[in-house]
Amino acid sequence: MSNPSIAVDNTIYIGGDKFYAFDENGNEKWTYGNNLPIMNAPIIDPDGNIYFSAIGDIHTTSFGSIISLKSNGTERWKYPTTGLSMSSPAFSVDYSQIFVGVGDKVLCLLTNTGDKVWEFTPAGMVGDFRATPAVDNINNVYIGTKANNESVFYAIKEDGSGLLWENTIGADLYSSPALGNDNVVYVGSEGADGRKRLHGLEMTTGKIKWSNSLSHDIVWSSATISNTGTLYIATMDVNGKGGGVYAFRTNSTGLLPNAGSPRFHGGNSSTGRRE
């Protein structure tokens, strides 16, 4: 459940029981921490600084941290959290902030100091955030909840002052959204009774433009959109029933330009660097 990132010098970063850095030949360069654990993907800013979430105690989720390291493994800052930390951070447009879901709230932190800018919990929310947020070209934040048939997809204002809209999808939203340049938010949902689907939501209103059934659970995969408008998403094998990779035609011609984070891990290459 942890994904690697690749720096411009080909250093590979990945979390597990601690945070690891390997060279391109697989030799360990350094490690950070012990018994964290880390169950998300690190991201890397243009200066080579690294950002990720650590759960702390997976059994109680009573504490954790959002952490930033220098490229040599030196800690820059650590922000303590409570609640489940499975969401990866996502950059703002100018890299000055990161957004990350922790428990029932979305946090916005300054990248240079780790100081909190704002936190937001939608009114009436149940469940928690497990997906990684997408961030558009004016820093609005898009993310869904894991709450079974009460799961909701939210668009949060860039200053954390409230919602732009919400849509009760009614199926777990582990999937991290992708923002198309056709102003559609693409996200997968999982669940029984036909709820494992790919949804296209209007970016300005949250209304469902269309929704297509997927044959197999679990939809934890995050959509990616090519510059020809083909969208790809995958489902996981469950109980030997098989998973699959799906391709859909869309009206987009790629990801939303000039976005802070148009999809999981910054872009289609999933290096953890914005592309």
Residues 117 and 13 in one domain: yes
Phi, psi of 264 (to 5 degrees): -50, 135
Look at 216 and 54; give whichever has higher pLDDT.
Answer: 54
- Whether 237 maps to a domain, the answer reads yes
Place of tokens 């029981």: 17
pTM metric for this prediction: 0.94
Q: How many domains does the chain have?
A: 2
Which of 75, 92, 121 terminates a domain? The answer is 121
What DSSP state is assigned to residue 175?
A: S
Q: Are residues 158 and 102 in the same domain?
A: no
Residue 244 and residue 157 in one domain: yes
- 64/30 same-domain check: yes
Task: Give the distance from CA 115 to its chain's centroid.
Answer: 20
Kindly state the tokens that stand for 230: 């083909």
108 and 159 in a common domain: no
Q: Is 117 in the same domain as 142?
A: no
pLDDT, tens digit, 9 for 90 and up, residues 20-74: 999 999 999 999 998 888 989 999 999 999 999 998 655 555 678 999 999 999 9
Q: H-helix or E-strand containing 40?
A: none
The range of the structural domain enclosing residue 57 comes to 1-121
Is the model's pLDDT at 192 over the cut of 80? Answer: no
Pair (160, 112) in one structural domain: no
Return d(Cα 41, Cα 184) in angstroms, integer: 24
Residue 271 lies in a domain: no
Domain boundary among 64, 88, 121: 121
Q: Over the stretch 227-248, which tens digit does the pLDDT of each residue have? A: 999 999 988 877 777 788 999 9
Task: Please indicate, yes or no, if residue 99 is contained in any of the structural domains.
Answer: yes
d(CA 100, CA 106): 6
- Alpha-carbon gap, residue 39 to 55, rounded angstroms: 7
